[in-house]
Structure 1
Amino acid sequence: MPDIIKLLPDNIANQIAAGEVIQRPASAVKELLENAIDAGATEINLIVADAGKSLIQVIDNGKGMSETDARMCFERHATSKIKNIDDLFHIKTMGFRGEALASIAAVAQVELKTKKEEETTGTYIEIENSVVIKQEPVAMQKGTSIAMKNLFFNVPARRNFLKSNASELRHIVDEFIRVSMAFPDLFFSLTSNGQQLFHLDKGTLKQRIIQLLGNTYSSKLVSVQENTDYMNIYGFVGKPETAKKTRGDQYFFVNNRFIKSPYLHHAMMGAFDEMIGKDSFPMYVLFIDLDPSQIDINVHPTKQEIKFEDEKIVYAFIQSAVKHALAQFSITPTLDFELDASIQQLDAINKPFTEEKKAATTSSSLYQTFTQKNQAHLIERKSELKHWKEFYEPETKPGSESQKPEIDPYKSEEEKPFQSLITQIQKPEAEHFLQLHNTYIVLQNDKGFMVIHQQNAHERVLYEKFITAIAGKHIAVQQSLFPATIDLVPQDAVLLNELLPDLKFLGYQIEPFGNNSFVVQGTPADIEQGNEKVIIERVLEQYKHFSSDLKFNQREKLLRSLAWQQSVKAGTALTEKEMKVLIEDLFACNAPNITPNGKPTYTEFKKNEMDKMFGR
């Protein structure tokens, strides 16, 4: 067969974006996996060591390359997938720029072994710093094995910018998931430092999703399938109860290529409107198939952002398809159009509204009060409505306190305890406090009164407590009588391994148990035992919420995540003793007025300002 890889002409190469920059090991993993898929492989094995810093190797059983192609593939802009500039707008392959291997060879030591099925021997090439060191025949099976070693060995400054091994491995796992999820009919495996993290057998898309995202979705996936002449949409969305407070399990694929699109994500949020909280994110894995000429994927170096020719149509199709799927599975709320028989018997329904009734209604004081002033909330004192509260107040006996002249007869019963409490409290250190809506704590100070948000206040208290613990004063650990076992998906297991040293400072004694499992041997002494699994899972979710904010380091993210997770939530009833301890701890903090995230912990109401409000 003739050689198929040719060097692009300069005029075409100049119209393609600048070379693929290998920013981190995960960038190389993405390109090598995509090349293996384009080679027609059915089995792809990814092997990494030291989070890709010392080794990234991809072994596939694809069609392989000839000796000439093996040399040519490392040239800049050399590709078998583009012949002219129009091909850029009809891309059907994963990799297409002809820059990945050239970029990899420029910053790593590369060993390539490849063999075509019809050839007797394969080709072995060793490249270092873009220079071919060795080339010789090699005996091997059909396919390609490419290994890149010592990433950035010749660019020490860039190597110093790499994160910790655990952090870089998480990025590799993310790229592996995105590629392997798009091709459930292929076998994938990921091995890190000799330990296999993923072993993904060929199967259906649903099986692949469960393999990658966890068994919790096994019975909570809703199928989405809509075919039109313009585009096809298929995949799965999670039921509303699977929605999480943080992003992570949201995947869009266009022609099997993972993309990021806030615009399409907004369409998904609209489809789940009123079924999940405004601060929650639904799980979805959706594939969009449409004519490659309708999209432009050459707008971003990582090809994760694309342009649609008519994105409004795609938006509408996605939202409609997901709503239809949820409705088919009886997920969406239903409306009951049957009329209540008792309502039909009311006079307002079965009797005519005569002119006499209309005149009587319009002449009433209530009607005039609402219409003449053009505001429904205004009730004039001179109308007969001024005594409306008397209808609801209980009848009192003569001589009772409620008939004393100094008490306002129109003050509601709920206001009286509050008023008496305010007169008792003289300063924040008072013995009595008032909790409103199981969320706010009210207390009087010298200039008026303040309202404290209990969760925000507790977050500040816990955060400064954790700061002290990290500085050296460890939090006491309570050993678990029955240690809890936690099973995590591989990417979360990698993250937890990274956080174990800091968690130990904070009172969590957690040990790896093999195969993405962990055993919680102890928890902080002041935390109730029994929900260790929930706490750890929520901390990981909250931690990932901060991962996109570069101004936070790893430890800071963990402290803020734990403070949010362990803080007493709004809606929790507190005793007076608990409120007192919380307030004392709050005002003992270095910054008692704000949470770690900048939200206010309390607000003050000054007496002179309140006097002005009431004209005093």
Structure 2
Amino acid sequence: MLNVIQLLPDSIANQIAAGEVVQRPASVVKELLENSVDAKAKSIQVIIREAGRNLIQIIDDGMGMTETDARMSFERHATSKIRSSDDLFRIKTMGFRGEALASIAAVAQVEMRTRRAEEELGTLIRIEGSDIKAQESISCLPGTNLLIKNLFFNVPARRNFLKSNSVEMRHVIDEFQRVALANPEVAFSLFHNDQEIYNLPAGKLSRRIIDMFGKSYREQLNQCEEQTPYVTVRGFIGKPESAKKARNEQFFFVNNRYIKHNYLHHAVIGAYEGTLPEGSHPFYVLFIDIDPSHIDINIHPTKTEIKFDDERSVYAIMMAAVRKAVGVYNLAPSLDFDSDVNFLSGGRGAKPAALPGEGADAGPKPITPSWMSGTSSPAPRQEPKAEKPTPLRNDTLDKAAGRSFDMPARKSDVPPKPSVNNWQALFEGVTDKASVPGPANQTAADWLGPAPTSTPTPAAPAPVSAPEPPAEPIRIASRANKIDDAIPDVMDDEAIVQIQNRYLLAPVKSGMMLIDQRRAYERILYDQFHASLTRRNGSSQQLLFPKTITLSPVDFQLALDLRDELTSLGFQFDELGHHTFIIRGVPTQTTDEKEEELFANLLAQLREDTGRLKLDRQESMARSLARRSAQRHATRLSAPERRALVDQLFASTNPSYTPGGESVMTVLSLDKIAGLFALK
């Protein structure tokens, strides 16, 4: 029988290793930047062309290499940092496996110039696909200059798997940011297609964060530091109000090495407990200094995952450090013992402005029910000096009653609104209004039951109240044409009730339908935005005063790449200086939001969705903007708005599910409702 096992040639073995080390241009940038940092460079320059496909150049002023070391650096597993197996547990440098240059040279055209400061001449080496083409002595500056040309030129299948230039460049910038944050004492600069992206001078960590993310971070940085014999935690955390929905500004470094660790992220979020909105993530840059013997960094090819020998202790120390920083800088809400909790007013004891006819020091007073006033009957309504109710008290009672009745818009047409100083007056107002037949009782009927069937007297018709304008432009579509047979039809003669500004409850033939209000808006807005992107006819609301916004280099580049799609949605913006846009218009469906936050959060959501989902640009953008805009619709809706929402939901392409696959509605059958009342 013939022998079938044989050793692979070095060129093929190097390409297999490159599959683990070199996944995309960002992987090359990461490995070469770490090598420059290990060489004790004080200034590192990165030059990129076509997102790294054509050229990646790293120039540093580090120690440089001799001619022999320069040649040996391209051999597999050639390193100056490991001498024995015990050294694997004492590693404090970045590149220690000796695979980076060999793997890169196997799939690219590499040219290296290097010289030590004490030597007169340097060394030039050219390699293509692991084959050495030239090696000679040249005159060059001290340090190392590496050029990586035509990445994956000899592996076209791998090159075809690369994403668009905008996506690949975002990965490059992410790797650059991580190395630059870990080494603030080193000056870094980044250029893409001859355009400067970053120019970061050497300095403190706080200066590096502000230079990298913008001046707006100056006000939200708070120092975090905790020292123990086992581990030291240091760095900066952000304020809760600056937290974002997208999780892309959280950085952990263990012994100056960037890592991803969900367990430690959970510790940080736990320290912010009670201060963060649901689904938000705070900004933080945290460094963990620990004895290398307590960690294992050799468990993943990219070295972004590590193991601690005692994760629980690190978790507890991390949470304590962040919680201490949150408390020291008063980031958490605190109790105010000076305010009177018996008053309905908020605002920590501040008194509102006095109403006309009241004293200057008059403020809101507690509501006293009639059963506490010492009399068994309510006070007569024709009392000569009845106290004028404050707006605060009226609003509070209206909210408690769920706004059971609406008053006509013009006060000159109808008697004044009845007093709601106490609960008797509240019920008298409902009773009086419910007794009036005709259109004036329409809103009360929506909440209290079916409308009366009696015909109003033609001699004295009741005035019709003008309905409130909808919160957003809503196109009312006919449900009769597009409702799927599987979706139960809402009975037209029954009311649609809103529950806690979050759900809509409507009786149907088979029982009761419960609709998630936010998800319904997400489905409706998604259809509108997707149609605008497909037809490229999105309507735009022009701003009276254009807004200026400064973005990070990643988001700025993303906005330029997606300019056509953003314009189709209704955004209108122009470049204004370095990483700055001026916003002149926004989509009409989002006019109630802050334009700067809407634009920035949309770009952040797009970055997150692009890396997590395999979607095209239009699909990803429509989903992101619909999800972002639907958050603001957790508000009280009037009866016309509730009806319009249901109509437009059933007219959408898929009323039952959001674009992300979440259920929009559920039907409680009569049997299921009866089962809720069954004896147990």
Q: 1:26 corresponds to which residue?
A: 26
Q: Residues 42 and 186 of structure 1 are in contact (CA less than 8 Å); yes or no, is this contact kept in structure 2?
A: yes
Q: 2:466 corresponds to which residue?
A: none
Q: Residues 213 and 249 of structure 1 are in contact (CA less than 8 Å); yes or no, is this contact kept in structure 2?
A: no
Work out whether 1:506 is the aligned partner of 2:580: no
Instruction: Report which stretch shifted further, 74-83 or 448-457.
Output: 448-457
Deviation at 1:329, TM superposition (A): 2.0
SS at match of 2:612: coil
Q: 2:364 corresponds to which residue?
A: none
Which of these residues, 456, 475, 478, is aligned with residue 519 of structure 2?
A: 456
Q: 1:437 to 1:135 in 2, by over 3 A?
A: same
Q: 2:390 corresponds to which residue?
A: none
Q: Deviations over 1:470-521 (max 9, x none)?
A: 3325223344454332210112112222322222222223333342122334
Q: Deviations over 1:54-80 (max 9, x none)?
A: 000000000111111111111111111
Q: 1:469 corresponds to which residue?
A: 532
Matches within 5 A, 1:118-129: 118-129=118-129
Q: 1:517 corresponds to which residue?
A: 580
Q: 2:151 corresponds to which residue?
A: 151
Work out whether 1:204 is the aligned partner of 2:267: no
Deviation at 1:275, TM superposition (A): 1.8
Q: Residues 187 and 200 of structure 1 are in contact (CA less than 8 Å); yes or no, is this contact kept in structure 2?
A: yes
Q: 1:568 to 1:277 in 2, by over 3 A?
A: closer
Amino acid at match of 2:447: F
Amino acid at match of 1:498: D
Q: Residues 268 and 322 of structure 1 are in contact (CA less than 8 Å); yes or no, is this contact kept in structure 2?
A: yes
SS at match of 1:79: coil
Q: 1:213 to 1:430 in 2, by over 3 A?
A: farther
Work out whether 1:420 is the aligned partner of 2:449: yes
- The answer to which structure, 1 or 2, has the higher relative contact order (CA under 8 A, 6+ apart) is 1
Amino acid at match of 2:627: W
Deviation at 1:549, TM superposition (A): 2.1
Q: 1:584 corresponds to which residue?
A: 647
Deviation at 1:322, TM superposition (A): 1.4
Q: 1:183 to 1:415 in 2, by over 3 A?
A: same
Q: 1:415 to 1:468 in 2, by over 3 A?
A: closer
Quote the Cα distance in structure 2 between the aligned partners of 1:34 and 1:151. Answer: 19
- Identity level (%): 46
Q: 1:115 corresponds to which residue?
A: 115
Q: 1:37 corresponds to which residue?
A: 37
Amino acid at match of 2:604: E
Deviation at 1:244, TM superposition (A): 1.6
Quote the Cα distance in structure 2 between the aligned partners of 1:541 and 1:397. Answer: 50
Q: 1:120 to 1:433 in 2, by over 3 A?
A: same
Q: Deviations over 1:84-135 (max 9, x none)?
A: 2211111011111111000110111111011111111111111111111122
Q: 1:91 to 1:319 in 2, by over 3 A?
A: same
Q: Residues 223 and 235 of structure 1 are in contact (CA less than 8 Å); yes or no, is this contact kept in structure 2?
A: yes
SS at match of 2:562: helix
Amino acid at match of 1:474: N
* TM-score, normalised via structure 2 length: 0.74
Which of these residues, 440, 444, 447, is aligned with residue 503 of structure 2?
A: 440
Deviation at 1:395, TM superposition (A): 9.6
Q: 1:51 corresponds to which residue?
A: 51
Q: 2:632 corresponds to which residue?
A: 569
Deviation at 1:18, TM superposition (A): 5.6
Q: 1:429 to 1:149 in 2, by over 3 A?
A: farther
Q: 2:401 corresponds to which residue?
A: none
SS at match of 2:97: coil
Instruction: Report which stretch shifted further, 220-229 or 55-64.
Output: 220-229
Q: 1:272 corresponds to which residue?
A: 272
Q: Residues 110 and 128 of structure 1 are in contact (CA less than 8 Å); yes or no, is this contact kept in structure 2?
A: yes
Q: Residues 521 and 633 of structure 2 are in contact (CA less than 8 Å); yes or no, is this contact kept in structure 1?
A: no
Q: Deviations over 1:148-201 (max 9, x none)?
A: 011001111100000000000000000000000011111000000001100001
Quote the Cα distance in structure 1 between the aligned partners of 2:190 and 2:533. Answer: 34
SS at match of 1:27: helix
Q: Residues 446 and 495 of structure 2 are in contact (CA less than 8 Å); yes or no, is this contact kept in structure 1?
A: no
Quote the Cα distance in structure 1 between the aligned partners of 2:611 and 2:79. Answer: 34
Deviation at 1:599, TM superposition (A): 2.1
Q: 1:449 to 1:57 in 2, by over 3 A?
A: same
Deviation at 1:337, TM superposition (A): 9.4
SS at match of 1:301: coil
Q: Residues 450 and 493 of structure 2 are in contact (CA less than 8 Å); yes or no, is this contact kept in structure 1?
A: no
Deviation at 1:81, TM superposition (A): 1.0
Quote the Cα distance in structure 2 between the aligned partners of 1:334 and 1:397. Answer: 38
Amino acid at match of 1:107: V
Amino acid at match of 2:48: V
Q: 2:289 corresponds to which residue?
A: 289
Q: 1:83 corresponds to which residue?
A: 83
SS at match of 2:151: coil
Unaligned runs of 5+ in 2: 1-12, 343-421, 433-442, 454-488
Work out whether 1:484 is the aligned partner of 2:513: no
Instruction: Report which stretch shifted further, 325-334 or 278-287.
Output: 325-334
Instruction: Report which stretch shifted further, 243-252 or 489-498.
Output: 489-498
Which of these residues, 534, 546, 549, is aligned with residue 597 of structure 2?
A: 534
Q: 1:196 to 1:393 in 2, by over 3 A?
A: closer
Instruction: Report which stretch shifted further, 243-252 or 439-448.
Output: 439-448
Deviation at 1:582, TM superposition (A): 2.2
Q: Residues 166 and 497 of structure 1 are in contact (CA less than 8 Å); yes or no, is this contact kept in structure 2?
A: no
SS at match of 2:576: strand
Q: Residues 421 and 434 of structure 1 are in contact (CA less than 8 Å); yes or no, is this contact kept in structure 2?
A: no
Q: Deviations over 1:520-548 (max 9, x none)?
A: 34333444277321211121232234244
SS at match of 2:666: strand
Q: Residues 180 and 188 of structure 1 are in contact (CA less than 8 Å); yes or no, is this contact kept in structure 2?
A: yes
Quote the Cα distance in structure 2 between the aligned partners of 1:259 and 1:395. Answer: 64
Quote the Cα distance in structure 2 between the aligned partners of 1:79 and 1:450. Answer: 67
Q: Residues 454 and 568 of structure 1 are in contact (CA less than 8 Å); yes or no, is this contact kept in structure 2?
A: no
Q: 1:237 to 1:397 in 2, by over 3 A?
A: closer
Unaligned runs of 5+ in 1: 1-13, 343-391, 403-413
Q: 1:526 to 1:253 in 2, by over 3 A?
A: closer
Quote the Cα distance in structure 2 between the aligned partners of 1:329 and 1:477. Answer: 42
Q: Residues 446 and 497 of structure 2 are in contact (CA less than 8 Å); yes or no, is this contact kept in structure 1?
A: no
Deviation at 1:49, TM superposition (A): 0.4
Quote the Cα distance in structure 1 between the aligned partners of 2:586 and 2:91. Answer: 53
Q: 2:660 corresponds to which residue?
A: 597
Work out whether 1:173 is the aligned partner of 2:189: no
Amino acid at match of 1:543: L
Quote the Cα distance in structure 2 between the aligned partners of 1:505 and 1:397. Answer: 52
Quote the Cα distance in structure 2 between the aligned partners of 1:290 and 1:239. Answer: 27
Q: 2:249 corresponds to which residue?
A: 249
Task: Compute the RMSD of aligned alpha carbons.
Answer: 3.2
SS at match of 1:450: strand
Deviation at 1:550, TM superposition (A): 3.5
Quote the Cα distance in structure 2 between the aligned partners of 1:148 and 1:53. Answer: 9
Work out whether 1:556 is the aligned partner of 2:585: no
Q: 1:383 corresponds to which residue?
A: none
Deviation at 1:460, TM superposition (A): 0.6
Quote the Cα distance in structure 2 between the aligned partners of 1:97 and 1:122. Answer: 25
Q: 1:111 to 1:423 in 2, by over 3 A?
A: farther
Q: 1:186 corresponds to which residue?
A: 186
Q: Residues 233 and 286 of structure 2 are in contact (CA less than 8 Å); yes or no, is this contact kept in structure 1?
A: yes
Q: 1:299 corresponds to which residue?
A: 299
Q: 2:142 corresponds to which residue?
A: 142
Instruction: Report which stretch shifted further, 53-62 or 517-526.
Output: 517-526
Q: 2:392 corresponds to which residue?
A: none
Deviation at 1:279, TM superposition (A): 1.8
Q: 1:66 corresponds to which residue?
A: 66
SS at match of 1:95: coil
Quote the Cα distance in structure 1 between the aligned partners of 2:179 and 2:28. Answer: 13
Q: 1:140 to 1:521 in 2, by over 3 A?
A: same
Q: 1:474 to 1:122 in 2, by over 3 A?
A: same
Q: 1:608 to 1:31 in 2, by over 3 A?
A: closer
Q: 2:372 corresponds to which residue?
A: none
